[in-house]
Homo-oligomer: A and B are copies of this chain.
Amino acid sequence: MTVDSPLAADTRLTPASDGVFEGSLSDRWNALGGIVNGGYSVAVCLQALRAVLPHPDPLTVSTFFLGRCAPGPVELRTDVAKRGRRVSTGEARMIRNGAEVVRTVASFTDLGAWNGPSAVLATLPDLPDPETAIDPMAGVRLPGVTITDRVEFRYARLPGWRRGRPSGDPSAEFWIRFTGGRDATVFDLPMLVDAAAPVVLDVAGVVGSATVELTTHVRAAPAPGWLAFRAATRYVGGGFHEEDVEIWDSRGELVAQSRQLAVVLAGSPSTSDRTDG
């Protein structure tokens, strides 16, 4: 028996007509400014696709964000592009107030049903015991943000931008889990890859990031426990940046990989953030 994750209750959909579903974006997964977290929107799309595709698990999920989106009722319109033996593919369009706000195309598979050669050419993040690591959100309230009540983080040390001094190194490794420790499923991973603050905040002059497109590969079902998160941005320029994320589980297995292309929001950091500057 699987215990539902905290996200499951907020991504439930009701069938409306053939391939069309109705749901509601909760206000419990809000990012800065009270807009819904992008990864949460992806998770809602995946529930619609799960209902129309024959395979059980998301494998590769690509989402284009078409507009800022507040909590409230949404409609999901799906179509199935291909039902294959190993992989099936479909699309979900999320409509809010008559306008399409999110488009997701995803391939599903049965993770664990296939075999073959294996090789891992990277190592999992080297992190201290989460019990002794730092909660970067302790005592912090960000305007409109609620996702930090649902997801918690543990860092070896606070990132530069959190200390008001961007380090110039837009990368980070830390622990992540649902607040309180409820375990994550494969359907939570495409939300979790997008749940942390963007590491590009550690580049001087960057005050935020707006995702254009996010692709996640789900590679395995996560084992129970804290998940190790690795994020890196390597190319910032021309008004855009990418961010790569890996999530490793407590067995030391890579369970998700993501990459996004985002608009760089430039400006001066607000002086209120410079608590020790």
Contact = CB atoms under 8 A, between A and B. Distances in A.
B236 A59 contact: no
Contact of A170 (B66, B103, B113, B121): B121
B213 A235 contact: no
Contacts of A116: 205-206, 236-239, 264, 266
A204 interface: yes
A257 B254 CA distance: 21
Interface in A185-214: 203-206, 212-213
Interface in A19-65: 59-60, 62, 64
Interface stretch (A104-112, A133-141, A147-155): A104-112
B87 A263 contact: yes
Contacts of A203: 117, 119
Main secondary structure on A side of the interface with B: strand
A100 interface: yes
Contacts of A213: 60, 62, 107, 215
Contact size class for A?
35 or more
A168 to B, nearest CB: 7
B206 A235 contact: no
Interface of A: 59-60, 62, 64, 66-67, 81-82, 84, 86-87, 89, 91, 93, 100, 103, 105, 107, 109, 111-122, 168-171, 203-206, 212-213, 215, 217, 219-220, 232-240, 242, 254, 257, 259, 261, 263-264, 266
23 contacts: A60-B212, A60-B213, A87-B263, A112-B238, A114-B239, A116-B236, A116-B237, A116-B264, A117-B205, A117-B264, A118-B237, A118-B238, A119-B237, A120-B237, A121-B233, A121-B235, A215-B215, A215-B259, A217-B259, A217-B261, A219-B237, A220-B237, A235-B254
Given A107-B261, A115-B238, 17 more contacts: A59-B240, A59-B261, A62-B62, A62-B213, A64-B105, A81-B103, A91-B103, A107-B213, A114-B239, A114-B240, A117-B206, A119-B233, A120-B234, A213-B215, A215-B259, A219-B235, A220-B237
